Structure 1
Amino acid sequence: MSAPYILVLYYSRHGSTLALAQAIARGVQQVKGIDVRLRTVPGVSPDHQASAPAVPDEGAVYCSKEDLNNCAGLILGSPTRFGNMAAPLKYFLDGTADSWMSARLSCKPAAVFTSTSSLHGGQESTLLTMMLPLLHHGMVICGLPYSEPELSSTTTGGTPYGASHWQPGQQKESGLSQDESALASALGKRVASFALKLKD
């Protein structure tokens, strides 16, 4: 029998959200007895027919319904788009009514993460609104407690609602700060630990 796994599901346009996803995955890997799956979603096509390839050219593979339904916990990530999640991730979630009707995600832990190019560009509203479909699925939301010291010392991203990253628009290089990386890892570890407890 395969080990339970945490699904880290994200959409990333320029790499910042992907960097957070990878740091979160490293946190999950610190917990014995549970695996991690990194998955993404395709972009939304401007045409009536999908024009994106069935398999992405690079990075994580696209998330399947099986990946979602069989996870022991879910950590959902998106860049901020006008204070909300990006359309490709919302489009994917809008197609999960069958999972909702069969309560496949109910009572499983979940968390959220985001990245923005401006410090007050909607990080908290994005994180909070990303929780709404997870609550509808009956998931148990995990945040970041202030017992994580980086939450009080960070001058970039990191919130009690979930991990975040601030990538100033004028900076070309994408990289997490030390605090952002530590908080992302802590979030992954926290959800993985809760998943094992809830599974028991």
Structure 2
Amino acid sequence: MSTKLSDLSEISLGTILTRVKPKSELQSFKQISTISMQELSYICGKDDSSFDEIISKIDIEKVDKCLLTKENDIVIGLSSQMAMVITKERANSLLLSNFCLVRINDTNLLDPYYFAWLFNENSIMKHQLTSSMQGQSYVKMITLDVIRDLDLDLPPINKQILIGKIYYQSIRKNRYERRLIELKQLLLNKKIENIL
């Protein structure tokens, strides 16, 4: 079964920070944890470097104008073209305008982890994204219209859940294996230095 992403979810652009941050140091503000590109790269398994939590200062009177994440939301980097799922721990984080948020209406129809696999790894999805941006010579940013218009192939929900679990487990497994290789190399170098 194939359907458009916009039929299954609400899709929103992140918050433009300059519109909600305090104009002066004297204004009251709230500090809100903020999703970063480094976090997205780490979660998607593209970068093993740890990331520091980013905190944004938001004008206390403009907090309600901010786009905050909820558990099982999908965050898409508009320039990186990567998607991640928001966990319970990252709910209520600020999402900035270099991201878009996909909030699924019914997770019995579309599993967020399956969508992350589909968006990040599926060749048919990659073809949809690249064909929609042909002719652009500058930094390739995905538009919200392109995301809304994505055609999704939806197997039964139990298969979606299984694919999503396998995908996220493989990201973690690959990260551990890369770290193990690094540690083995460090140990080998230490042995060689001891010989010298």
Task: Please state which band the TM-score falls in when normalised by the shorter chain.
Answer: under 0.3
| TM-score after normalising by structure 2 | 0.27
Q: By percentage of residues, which structure has more helix?
A: 2
TM-score, normalised to structure 1, is: 0.27
Tell me which structure has the larger Cα radius of gyration.
2
